[in-house]
Amino acid sequence: MTEKRVVRGIKGVKDILPEEIARWQTIEGAARRLSFLFGYQEIRVPIFEVTELFARSIGVSTDIVEKEMYTFPDRDGTSLTLRPEGTAGVVRAYIEHNLGASPQSQKLFYLGPMFRHERPQAGRLRQFHQFGVECIGLESPLADVEVIALLWRFLSAELRLPDLTLEVNNLGDAGDRPAYKALLLEFLKSREGRLCENCRRRMETNPLRVLDCKVPTCREATEDAPRISQHLSPPSRRHFEEVLSGLAALGIAHTLNHRLVRGLDYYTLTAFEVTSGKLGAQNAVGAGGRYDGLMEALGGPNLPGIGFAVGLERVSLLLPDAVVSPPPPMLFVAGFGAQGQPAGLRFLHDLRAAGVRATTDYRASTLKAHLRQADKLGATLVVILGDDEAAKGQVVLRNMQTKQQEDLPLKGAVEALFKRLNRA
């Protein structure tokens, strides 16, 4: 007996349906266009990697590695993981292919799905998509400014997302961090009783994350915690000052948030996040930062890096309809009758060969049936080719909105239509 039950998709893993595609293509098109303008090249890295890559880069005590990864054994027992983010794979590929040897490969971008086992809610999925960029090998704070400028222009100018805020912080470098962490831990221990269970647990492994906790009592308890900005070495301080003055020079408004820590351990110095007031609880649209120790931690050369990633589902939720590029018009060919039907088929074929988007309905044998279908498909122009038209060597062009019709000679009609549609 055949099983009748419908097989359904997985919770938090969504289909992107044809009706949503124009939004996605608008977003992805803007990402590609802008990356190209800024001199970034596309890279496509695998969707799964050895688990060790993510554990060593994102950090074993992060939420992502501790509880959100899709990890499974390969047939030979090797532990593999669906990528929860893009930076680790890009840095691995950079080392493996010695991309540093080619100056064009310093600046990379990617688009694609990521996987995290989170509790699904609006704007939070288990399979989601990111547009990310990674700028590798540049220590200069101007690289930070460029990456943030790209992110800001993508979200605010290209896609015109509403109610955006850019927040920045300086997390200190590898030299600043140990002394600050010890100081912070001492402070947190003195407030332990006021911290949530999660923070009490995290305190020893990842004390900085406690600053980022959203629980109001934790925020109150850490209000007067020592700030890393007061414990920076002069070079770290200078780096951040130059980032801030670069942003000011480009007119990119930003606020300082000393609690901005980020959920990945590889960050050093600059960290940033763009949120939207229109998103609800999951309000981060895009985020990133510097990761100067990551390449070396993965066994590569000691090269710095900085990048960001944007969550495209969140972008899609915010995207104003006016920004969505409409699909090009579709022409409908209505060929019917003993001569008209084959002539219509040829005409359709010629239109497509000339680069005109066109379709027909193979079931329709009358003009009425064709027009009904053209209407359903939203075609604005219909080419009518019945036996009469075929005999006279012409076609009738019907505007579906105005219902106006005009005759065109069959010879040269494809070129005339191509010109007309490309002018519109």
**Residues near ligand HAM, by CB under 6 A:** 85-87, 116, 118, 123-125, 128, 130, 132, 134, 263-264, 284-289, 291, 307-309, 311, 313-314
- Report, in Å, the least distance between residue 397 CB and ligand HAM: 46
**Sheet (strand 107-115) strand order:** 41-42, 107-115, 127-136, 305-311, 284-290, 268-276, 164-170, 255-256
- Report, in Å, the least distance between residue 271 CB and ligand HAM: 9
State which residue, 90 or 203, has the beta carbon closest to ligand HAM.
90
- Report, in Å, the least distance between residue 163 CB and ligand HAM: 15
State which residue, 292 or 389, has the beta carbon closest to ligand HAM.
292
- Report, in Å, the least distance between residue 288 CB and ligand HAM: 4
User: Which residue, among 311, 312, 306, has the nearest Cα to 246 in the 3D structure?
Assistant: 306
CA distance 383 to 404: 12
- Ranked by CB distance to ligand HAM, the top (closest) residue is 311
- Report, in Å, the least distance between residue 125 CB and ligand HAM: 4
State which residue, 6 or 281, has the beta carbon closest to ligand HAM.
281
CA distance 11 to 73: 22
State which residue, 214 or 376, has the beta carbon closest to ligand HAM.
214
Burial tier of 49 (Cβ tally within 10 Å: 0-12, 13-18, 19+): middle
State which residue, 282 or 394, has the beta carbon closest to ligand HAM.
282
State which residue, 172 or 344, has the beta carbon closest to ligand HAM.
172
- Report, in Å, the least distance between residue 279 CB and ligand HAM: 9
Q: Which residue has the tokens 């993508």?
A: 154
Determine the Cα angle at 333 with ends 328 and 335, to 5°.
175
3-state helix, strand, coil in the chain (%, to 5): 45, 20, 35
- Report, in Å, the least distance between residue 315 CB and ligand HAM: 8
Q: What is the CA radius of gyration of the chain?
A: 28
State which residue, 14 or 200, has the beta carbon closest to ligand HAM.
14
State which residue, 85 or 389, has the beta carbon closest to ligand HAM.
85
What's 211's DSSP letter?
H
CA distance 367 to 346: 17
Burial tier of 121 (Cβ tally within 10 Å: 0-12, 13-18, 19+): exposed
Q: Which two tokens stand for residue 329?
A: 């018009």
User: Which residue, among 349, 321, 323, 347, has the nearest Cα to 336 in the 3D structure?
Assistant: 347
- Report, in Å, the least distance between residue 59 CB and ligand HAM: 12
